[in-house]
Amino acid sequence: MIEKELLKINNLVTSFRINGKYYPAVDGVSLRVKENEVFAIVGESGCGKSALALSIMNLHNPAFTKIEGKIFFKGQDLLKLNLTELNKIRGRDIGMIFQDPLTALNPLMKIGAQIEESLTFHTNLSGKEKQRRAMELLEGVGIENPSLTYDQFPHELSGGMRQRAMISIALACKPSLVIADEPTTALDVTIQAQILDLLKKLQKEIKSGIILITHDLGVVAEMADRVAVMYAGQIVETADVHELFSNPLHPYTRSLMASMPSKASGDTQEDRLHVIQGMVPSLLLQKRDGCRFSPRIPWIASYYHEENPVYHEVRPGHHVLCTCFRHFHFKEERRKSRVIT
């Protein structure tokens, strides 16, 4: 079965203007999302994952943002469209779920009206039909009393309910692509499990592709089919989810996984988590050439890094940036081996 390509991003560069100069927050990202696939983008704050999502939706303020590259959605370059054409796609073919439902929802509009808004824009349904559809949607996202919620304002709902309402808005027109930007970060674990469950179920129903943006590796392990790990504006590793968790290769991916508290860690008082040396450089100070992770792993000799890092296909579908992964070891490992010799 060949799944159709839904979204193709080629060499996307999103730069923000700061003090008159442009600095790329997303720097040369290329990726493909297929139909009916959950594609996760994982990284820490400031790595450019949200900037990437907003670029796809063209939601950046054009006054100080420059977007270069190509974003093909079903063969159409989104960056070449004018606002009218774009508005026909946004909300109908691409839905977006934001992190904070309280700021993303309009506090002065009832939930029902907010769902109907996108139906009004994109369909020719009559008022009654729209209302029926809104109720269906609310029921579909697991809200027990849709007719009550329909007439409520966002502040009357709990966090989990608000997020459900937002999901129903994003899915109102059965989009073929859903961008979920940290959809569960603001929620409790039990609610998170419910929302993820819901997203999985809905995805099976409407067969859309999902771009899941998150910083939580647990969420990735639960949801994703394929994963891209981002660091400092670049994708450093792409792989199938099983491959990534069983065989992480890029030093950043490995360090990130080692810094997760797990069941095994913390058994003894001496147990310490892995810490990535140094800090994520700010956008203004980020160097553009060479391996961007190299300052964080200074114990790896500089000749192991490539001058102009390229992607290496380790296994089919598993791409890693720069050659340093072949020679990477944690700092503690070297110390141990020294003790042995």
Binding region for another protein (CB under 8 A):
44-45, 159, 188-193, 196-197, 215-219, 221-222, 224, 241-242, 245, 255-256, 259-263, 265-266, 269, 271-276, 279
Query: CB burial class (10 A; 0-12, 13-18, 19+) of residue 73?
Result: buried
How many Å separate Cα 340 from the centre of its chain?
Answer: 43
Minimum distance between the CB of residue 282 and another protein, rounded to whole angstroms?
A: 9
Minimum distance between the CB of residue 259 and another protein, rounded to whole angstroms?
A: 4
Nearest residue (CB) to another protein, 132 versus 204? 204
How many degrees, rounded to 5, is the angle at CA 243 between CA 239 and CA 244? Answer: 60
Q: 21: helix, coil or strand?
A: strand
Minimum distance between the CB of residue 101 and another protein, rounded to whole angstroms?
A: 14
Nearest residue (CB) to another protein, 113 versus 276? 276
Whole-number Å distance between alpha carbons of 8 and 73: 6
Q: What does the block give as tokens for 103? A: 């700021």
Nearest residue (CB) to another protein, 152 versus 265? 265
Nearest residue (CB) to another protein, 281 versus 290? 281
**What does the chain come to in residues?**
341
List phi, psi (to 5°) of 239: -165, 165
Whole-number Å distance between alpha carbons of 251 and 232: 14
Minimum distance between the CB of residue 56 and another protein, rounded to whole angstroms?
A: 23
Nearest residue (CB) to another protein, 87 versus 265? 265
Nearest residue (CB) to another protein, 79 versus 258? 258
Query: CB burial class (10 A; 0-12, 13-18, 19+) of residue 336?
Result: exposed
Pairing of strands 209-214, 38-42: parallel
Q: What does the block give as tokens for 274? A: 């892995």
Q: In one letter, which amino acid is 288?
A: R
Minimum distance between the CB of residue 173 and another protein, rounded to whole angstroms?
A: 28
Minimum distance between the CB of residue 194 and another protein, rounded to whole angstroms?
A: 8
